[in-house]
Amino acid sequence: MKDFMMLFHSEPNPNYEPTPEEIQDELKRWEDWMGSIGAQGKLKNPGEALGFEGKTMHSDGSITDGPYAEVKEIVGGFMIVSAESVEDAIKLADGCPALASGGKVEVRDIMNFEDME
| Mean pLDDT, rounded, of the chain | 87
Contact 109, 48 (CB under 8 A): no
pLDDT tens-digit readout, 52-91: 778 888 899 998 877 655 556 778 899 999 999 999 999 9
In a 3-state reduction of DSSP, which class is residue 32?
helix
Q: How confident is the model at residue 71, as a pLDDT?
A: 59
Q: How confident is the model at residue 36, as a pLDDT?
A: 96
Contact 82, 45 (CB under 8 A): no
Is 0.75 topped by the overall pTM?
yes
pLDDT tens-digit readout, 1-40: 999 999 998 887 777 788 999 989 999 999 999 999 999 9
In 10 A of CB 6, how many CB atoms?
Answer: 21
> Phi and psi dihedrals of 76, rounded to 5?
-90, -15
CATH homologous superfamily of 2-12+20-116: Dimeric alpha+beta barrel (3.30.70.1060)
